Structure 1
Amino acid sequence: MHEIITLQLGRQSNYVAAHFWNAQESYFTYGQEDPSPVDHDIHWRAGIGADGSETYLPRTVVYDRKGGFGSLRKVNALYEAREEAHNAQSSAMDLPSSLWHGRTVVQRETPILPSAYTQSLDTGLPPTEPLTPATVRYWSDYSRVYYHPRSLIEVGDEPEVSATQGTANGTNGASSSASGAAAPAAPREYTWGDGETLFNELDREHDLLDRDMRPFIEEADQMQGFQVIANVDDSWGGFASRYLERMRDEYGKVDIWLWALQQPAGRLPREKRITRLANKARTLVEAYSQASLVIPLAVPPMPLKSVLPSTFDPSSYWHTAALLATAIETATLPSRLRKLGSGAAGQSGDSLAYLTDLLNATGKQTVANLQMSVVQPWKQVKKDARERREAAGYDEDDYGDGGGGGGNITKMDGDLQLPIDFAPRDESVVMAGRAGRGLRPKKPRMFGQSVVTRATPGDNEDGTDGDDEDDGQTESGAALDRREMMHRRFALKPVSQRYNVDLGFPLLDSFPYIYQQTSDSTTSIPVTTALATDRAVADRIQALRTTVTVGAPWAIGLEDREALGNDLAGMADAYHDGWSSGSDDGDDED
């Protein structure tokens, strides 16, 4: 089956994952429908409900703070009968041995009522009113799937609330509570160390990996790897770092992908912004040595008028998570496609291990960038990419040797420069103005890239559009030959793989209409993602290093600061031309 087990850490990650699971649920087909190209067994597990019926639930473990699950119950309708019987039996067994004969008083918290949307799902009726940022209070307010009781783990109280960060109304801190209530007093900013301490305390008491993850791992027939979605710029970064370390100790050869989410920090006071970047820097250094691939993600600066309409609300977790989930779900699509036979162009996928080898050229390039284009067919994506290159003054040769040798390697697949770039932009708060000091921009250098193009019915996505002679070669093979890949690696040439899937990204009634040229009648849209390792990663890592070690030395202790700076410099060095450099500032030129 090649199962993938997902780990969700933190509030923002659960908002993103809720959209991810809703999309997976939409791929199920019933009756006489054509089978989906998605292999559901990779992300879903079969089980038995309380009434003996078969269940199909996500292979995921979800961590959130107290109150973060909203109205979502740990024991849902599929298992509540069994749970009630167990509780009744336990009460009957406990009664005779009770040592307390006095009066008991039961105190219950005020329950959180489910949203109108989830109530309509429970009754099987169409939603009476559409979801809006004001009505989405928690990620469970738009979740369409059931979770196994073992999947939902509540850890600790709510330490992340501040006067500028809403939690009960689904906002990310850019606006106040929709209810108009006074904001609570802002506590201190919780840091990477707080998350590390929380994990260590819980792990000593329960052994989190054994209690929470192992049941899902042991029922997997042939596990493909782990997918971790985590906040990395707050206390969850420390929690995730220690969790990754435990996972790597137990499963040394299994692929682990970390989707490293970062909240917009541009509007925060400088001290808090630097603290968040310090949290992120420590998490990236730890994840670099533990994860197979790390993809830092942040919502790009607004506005993106060509892609996102004016109704897009950057202060709404529901909206920003939908944008991130579109990219994550599309970029990982090859890892869950059915194997429809050798050479089935556009229909067969590859494992996380293969994609890691594709992107990680030397074993040290474990940090990648993710870009996305929506609503545009592949022909338009290529045309726009060519125009952006010409506008920047780059020749095709600036991107390295992208042609020749392999059927899936073309110049047009090199460094697509798609309009939505999720690479975080706020590392350079200290180094701002570099371009304005007369330094010419460095030529792009791409090492490895995985491109996924998904089409909607009628888009004529057959891989040929009549204006590129390489297109016929691009679809001639379903996978890049591994021997050829190694030859190109030794020659320091880039490697690119494109997957063409006839399955648009689903726009469900739980998904906000945040994309141009869509309406309530649009059921799916074409999406293209480019997940790549390139030299731009080094520039951002060096900027982050300067910010947290030179521009704000108070953010990290002296001993840790030196070690952190050296580790970040080593990470950046892996992305220089030739994959080795003695320079410490990332300014080597061709």
Structure 2
Amino acid sequence: MHEILTLQFGHFANFVGTHFWNSQEAYFTFNESLNAPKPEIIHDTLFRAGITSRGTETYTPRLLLYDLKGGFGSLKKINQLYEAPGENELPESTWNGQIETHAQMPYPKNKYLQYLEIEEELVSTEETENKMKIETEDFKLDETVQFWSDFNRLYYHPKSINTMMQYQFEDEFMPFNIFSYGKNAFLAHEKELDSFDENLRFFTEECDAIQGFQVFTNIIDGFGGFACSFLEQLRDEYPKTAIWSFGITEDRTWASEEQNSYYKQILNIALSTTQLTELSSLFNPINTPTINQHNLNSFYHPNLNLPYHTSSIVSAAIETATLPFRTRHNFTSMFDLITQLNWRGNTKLGSLGLALPLPISNFGEVDVNKLLHTENNNVLQDLSMALNGNEKQNATTILGQSVVVRGLPDQFEPLTGQNPKSASQIIAEIFQRYESLNSGSSSFFSTSVAYPIPNSFPKIFRHLNSNGHVDMSVPNDKMLSVHSVPTLSHLTISTKSYNFLHQLANILQNLNLNLHPEYEGGDKGLTRDEFLETRETLWGLCDAFEDK
């Protein structure tokens, strides 16, 4: 079955994960005839079939997600699929005296979530007009999304939802902002709930032939430590299984360099980077786009101050780069792709780029040169990590690369007096251009499956028709009609990582650990020897990625 189990650690990682799962749900088609061709996306890779206590069949993500208390918004651990009849009713009491009930007011559902409930009721009806209205209505999500659950379209299995009760979301007096806090929180969480054995095994033991784990985690705060502790235990159980970790930071949360909290964030990232690199088969440090680094173009205008927007970009990059693991044709396993990229064995840090959309017209017109990060005015969004406000340096040597092109129709409209272009011709041109980068190892993958744009996705596209093709005649206010977009991801193992690692090592070289005593507390506190070892590990990683 080639199953993949997804792990999500942290509030912003769950923003990314919500977009990811909403896109997976958009691939599903219902009420197909028996003679219909099998879908290209193999849903069983990421989803599991099950039966509720009521005997209802379910299909839910194979997922474990973690967030702080108060970080789930309106999402309940026990949702409508798993609620037993009368579960919310108060038990009968023999007490004849006065009874007072004290209950915390639940976080209210926004208009979008309310409409989803209506849409669910309409699935089995013929009310096509009302369904279309729900699909096309603007729910003002830019204004109403505060939590990742505010645009979540799926039901989750109760074992997927894990609350870290020791910390409160956005608690100013006890913030979850230290790597060691995460290490200690994992220890306390497991002592109390044993969720690793209880919940992880619940999902993995159902798998026929698990191909790997994909991890979305914050690394700028305590969740980096929590994820590292989780993966330490996971590696003991699955020493040879592929683990692809995405360590995500949100640019707007960075403190200024003059503040003490900035050096805490750097230390969190350094500790997360060294440990996740060791524990993972491939580690991708990701920073959300910044205003300075954002490639503004006519087709793509996110609000970089909204996590709802920036997480959608990160999610689209991850979803596209990992697409070969769950397709029916040209399937590539997670282990095989990672092994091909990291053919030297000691270069486990990757950089991720994304063209969202891949700018191509109805006639198949695309400038392949603008798809390379080495060209000026390129449309490839670089999501790799840079520190100190430095621009991300162009890679001088690419050791391995994986290019995924998706969403091109079999044949485009013909220009006057010309034969129509085919997708295979254009894809061959794109791949040939990437081959010119002289990578040590290259993997090229293409599919006609476009990146889906559900109505939960931000309205960030301009001058695109409903198929996501460039059409400058489409006015700006018509972005609601975009249902899917062609997309390109470019994953590289390259000397670009040297710059990030070297910056981290330099900062740690001059960092006085005595000024940050909070890292030493608890059973899993950071010792001086571990700090020095982290610094030496960073210098060692620098050597592996140095262009010699």
Q: Specify the code of the residue in structure 1 equivalent to 2:192.
A: E
Structure 1: distance between partners of 2:431 and 2:111: 51
Q: Specify the code of the residue in structure 2 equivalent to 1:449.
A: Q
Matched-pair contact (CA < 8 Å) for 1:292–1:366 = yes
Q: CA deviation at 1:539?
A: 1.8
Q: Specify the code of the residue in structure 2 equivalent to 1:509.
A: N
- In structure 2, the partner of 1:337 is 327
Is the partner of 1:156 in helix, strand or coil? strand
Structure 1 counterpart of 2:330, from 340, 348, 361: 348
CA distances 1:322-374 after superposition (whole Å, capped 9, x unpaired): 11111011010001001xxxxxxxx4120110111121122221110000112
Structure 2: distance between partners of 1:296 and 1:236: 14
Structure 2: distance between partners of 1:203 and 1:468: 52
Structure 2 counterpart of 1:382, from 368, 375, 378: 368
Q: Establish whether residue 515 from structure 1 lines up as the match of residue 461 from structure 2.
A: yes
Structure 2: distance between partners of 1:534 and 1:422: 14
Q: Structure 1 stretch 118-127 or stretch 142-151: which is displaced more?
A: 118-127
Matched-pair contact (CA < 8 Å) for 1:307–1:515 = no
Quick one: structure 1 residues 333 and 548, their matched pair in 2 at CA, closer, same or farther if it must change by over 3 Å?
same
Structure 2 counterpart of 1:464, from 414, 425, 445: 425
Q: CA deviation at 1:50?
A: 4.5
Q: Establish whether residue 360 from structure 1 lines up as the match of residue 342 from structure 2.
A: yes
Quick one: structure 1 residues 204 and 498, their matched pair in 2 at CA, closer, same or farther if it must change by over 3 Å?
same
Q: CA deviation at 1:73?
A: 1.6
Task: Output the TM-score relative to the length of structure 1.
Answer: 0.76
Structure 2: distance between partners of 1:547 and 1:229: 25
- In structure 1, the partner of 2:113 is 118
Is the partner of 2:444 in helix, strand or coil? strand
Structure 2: distance between partners of 1:544 and 1:515: 35
- In structure 1, the partner of 2:489 is 529
Structure 1: distance between partners of 2:463 and 2:530: 49
Structure 2: distance between partners of 1:469 and 1:146: 39
- In structure 1, the partner of 2:158 is 149
Q: Establish whether residue 565 from structure 1 lines up as the match of residue 535 from structure 2.
A: yes
Q: List aligned pairs for 1:232-251, cutoff 5 A.
A: 232-251=219-238
Q: List aligned pairs for 1:124-135, cutoff 5 A.
A: 124=119, 126-127=133-134, 129-135=138-144
- In structure 1, the partner of 2:43 is 40
Is the partner of 1:110 in helix, strand or coil? coil
Matched-pair contact (CA < 8 Å) for 1:307–1:516 = no
Q: Specify the code of the residue in structure 2 equivalent to 1:446.
A: I
Matched-pair contact (CA < 8 Å) for 1:454–1:500 = yes
Is the partner of 1:215 in helix, strand or coil? helix
Structure 2: distance between partners of 1:501 and 1:199: 40
Q: CA deviation at 1:35?
A: 3.2
Is the partner of 2:244 in helix, strand or coil? strand
Structure 1: distance between partners of 2:206 and 2:190: 22
User: Unpaired segments of 5 or more residues in structure 2?
Assistant: 120-129, 413-420, 465-478, 520-526
Structure 2: distance between partners of 1:68 and 1:278: 24
Q: CA deviation at 1:186?
A: 6.2
Q: Establish whether residue 271 from structure 1 lines up as the match of residue 260 from structure 2.
A: yes
CA distances 1:192-249 after superposition (whole Å, capped 9, x unpaired): 0111110011122333310221100001111111111110110101100100101001
Is the partner of 1:348 in helix, strand or coil? coil
Q: CA deviation at 1:504?
A: 1.0
User: Unpaired segments of 5 or more residues in structure 1?
Assistant: 163-184, 339-346, 393-416, 436-440, 475-491, 578-587
Matched-pair contact (CA < 8 Å) for 1:189–1:272 = no
Q: CA deviation at 1:160?
A: 5.4
Q: Establish whether residue 370 from structure 1 lines up as the match of residue 357 from structure 2.
A: no
Quick one: structure 1 residues 136 and 314, their matched pair in 2 at CA, closer, same or farther if it must change by over 3 Å?
same
Q: CA RMSD in A?
A: 3.2
Q: Specify the code of the residue in structure 2 equivalent to 1:533.
A: I
Q: CA deviation at 1:448?
A: 0.9
Matched-pair contact (CA < 8 Å) for 1:508–1:523 = yes
Structure 1: distance between partners of 2:404 and 2:395: 24
Structure 2 counterpart of 1:502, from 438, 442, 448: 448
Structure 2: distance between partners of 1:202 and 1:467: 51
Q: Specify the code of the residue in structure 2 equivalent to 1:550.
A: N
Q: Establish whether residue 7 from structure 1 lines up as the match of residue 7 from structure 2.
A: yes
Q: CA deviation at 1:382?
A: 2.5
Q: Specify the code of the residue in structure 2 equivalent to 1:422.
A: L
- In structure 1, the partner of 2:65 is 62
Q: CA deviation at 1:9?
A: 0.7
Q: CA deviation at 1:307?
A: 3.8
Structure 1: distance between partners of 2:507 and 2:266: 8
Q: CA deviation at 1:52?
A: 2.4
Structure 1: distance between partners of 2:439 and 2:250: 35
Between the two proteins, what is the percent identity of the paired residues?
29
Q: CA deviation at 1:275?
A: 1.1
Q: Structure 1 stretch 302-311 or stretch 465-474: which is displaced more?
A: 465-474
Q: Specify the code of the residue in structure 2 equivalent to 1:547.
A: I
Q: Specify the code of the residue in structure 1 equivalent to 2:103.
A: R
Q: Establish whether residue 447 from structure 1 lines up as the match of residue 393 from structure 2.
A: no
Is the partner of 1:463 in helix, strand or coil? helix
Q: List aligned pairs for 1:83-232, cutoff 5 A.
A: 84=86, 105-124=100-119, 126-127=133-134, 129-159=138-168, 161=170, 190-232=177-219
CA distances 1:164-205 after superposition (whole Å, capped 9, x unpaired): xxxxxxxxxxxxxxxxxxxxx565672001111100111223
Q: CA deviation at 1:53?
A: 3.0
Q: Specify the code of the residue in structure 2 equivalent to 1:3.
A: E
Is the partner of 1:380 in helix, strand or coil? coil
Q: Establish whether residue 420 from structure 1 lines up as the match of residue 375 from structure 2.
A: no
Q: CA deviation at 1:254?
A: 0.9
Quick one: structure 1 residues 425 and 517, their matched pair in 2 at CA, closer, same or farther if it must change by over 3 Å?
farther
Structure 2: distance between partners of 1:473 and 1:247: 36
Structure 1: distance between partners of 2:538 and 2:203: 34
Matched-pair contact (CA < 8 Å) for 1:66–1:155 = yes
